[in-house]
């Protein structure tokens, strides 16, 4: 997380350079770790930009090394998926989205994905399908999330303590419609639905045929 790549934005480590960057930014704010808890670490870096100018840049890192996980639940072998209506504190609003969460240290992505489904939907995943990774906000967040699809037999007890009020079963095509209409705005959900389509998990409908 502190590697400098040639041609990129350089993190300054020398105290003299750091003070020069703070002066250039007109700030007396501290540089380094400015906040940390068991979930996130917020870092304010003194940097040299590619044009040679100096300044400060804030980024947020996961507290551990384990990536987050995002899981698209698939109902059996059909074309239906399950989304949850989840209240998000950051936006102060309800969002229709897939189950997701931070990874636990010492567990691999598949184990974390299975755990998230058990916690949020109260169900054990069957087949688990990897759909790659995603950086949710490459301008601010240093971590990434692993994307999965998982076949489940149904929906169990929801994790209402976390702000989930209902599970919604719908055709995959309906989820794509809601994304296109702007009714699904969660970036992780848009990413995993898109990857599932591109991976061929759902056949294209007649309206998608351009031949």
Q: What is the pLDDT of residues 150-160, one digit of tens each?
A: 999 999 999 88
Q: In the chain, how many domains are there?
A: 2
Residue 206 has pLDDT above 90, yes or no: no
Q: Please list the alpha-helical segments (H only) found in the chain.
A: 15-25, 109-121, 172-181, 187-198
* Pair 136, 145: CB distance under 8 Å: yes
Pair 49, 120 in one domain? no
CB count within 10 Å of CB 94 equals 14
- Average pLDDT for 29-52: 95
Taking a C-beta distance cutoff of 8 angstroms, is the pair 71, 81 a contact? no
129, 149 contact by CB (below 8 A): yes
Question: Does residue 4 fall inside a structural domain?
Answer: no
pTM above 0.85, yes or no: yes
- Average pLDDT of span 169-197: 97
- 1 or 15, which is more confident: 15
Is the pLDDT at 211 greater than 50, yes or no?
A: no
Mean pLDDT of 18-46: 95
**pLDDT of 106 strictly over 90:** no
Out of 21, 39, 62, a domain closes at 62
Residues 53, 97, single domain; the answer is: no
Mean pLDDT of the chain: 92
120 and 38 part of one domain = no
Tell me the per-residue pLDDT of 159-176, one tens digit each, with 9 for 90 and over. Answer: 889 899 999 999 999 999
Residue 99's CATH number? 3.90.79.10
Does the residue 210 lie in any domain? Answer: no
Q: Among residues of the chain, what percentage have pLDDT more than 90?
A: 82
Q: Which residues pair with 168 in a beta bridge?
A: 83
Last residue of a domain, which of 39, 62, 85?
Answer: 62
Q: Which of 47, 44, 48, 46 is closest to 59 using CA atoms?
A: 44
Q: Are residues 112 and 181 in the same domain?
A: yes
How would residue 126 be classed by pLDDT, with cut points 50, 70 and 90? confident
Identify whether residues 119 and 188 lie together within a single domain. Answer: yes
Residues 87 and 148 in one domain: yes
Q: How far apart are CA 34 and CA 30, in angstroms?
A: 7
Q: How far apart are CA 132 and CA 167, in angstroms?
A: 25
The residues, ordered by sequence, that sit 6+ positions from 48 with a Cβ below 8 Å of its Cβ are 9, 10, 12, 17, 21, 54
Same domain, yes or no, for 136 and 176? yes
């Amino acid at each position: 997380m502190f590697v400098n790549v040639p041609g990129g934005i350089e993190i300054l480590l020398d105290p003299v350079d750091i003070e020069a960057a703070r002066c250039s930014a007109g700030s007396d704010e501290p540089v380094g770790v400015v906040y940390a808890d068991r979930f996130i670490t917020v870092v304010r870096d003194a940097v040299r930009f590619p044009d040679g100018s100096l300044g400060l840049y804030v980024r947020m890192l996961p507290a551990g090394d384990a990536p987050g996980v995002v899981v698209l639940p698939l109902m059996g072998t059909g074309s239906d998926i399950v989304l949850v209506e989840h209240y998000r504190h950051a936006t102060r609003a309800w969002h229709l989205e897939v189950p997701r969460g931070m990874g636990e240290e010492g567990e691999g992505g598949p184990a974390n994905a299975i755990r998230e489904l058990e916690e949020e939907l109260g169900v054990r995943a069957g087949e688990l399908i990897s759909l790659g990774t995603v950086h949710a906000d490459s301008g601010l967040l240093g971590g990434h999330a692993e994307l999965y699809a998982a076949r489940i037999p149904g929906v169990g007890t929801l994790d209402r303590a976390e702000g989930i009020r209902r599970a919604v079963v719908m055709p995959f095509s309906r989820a794509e419609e809601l994304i296109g209409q702007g009714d699904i705005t969660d970036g992780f959900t848009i990413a995993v639905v898109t990857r599932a389509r591109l991976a061929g998990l759902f056949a294209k409908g007649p309206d998608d045929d351009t031949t």
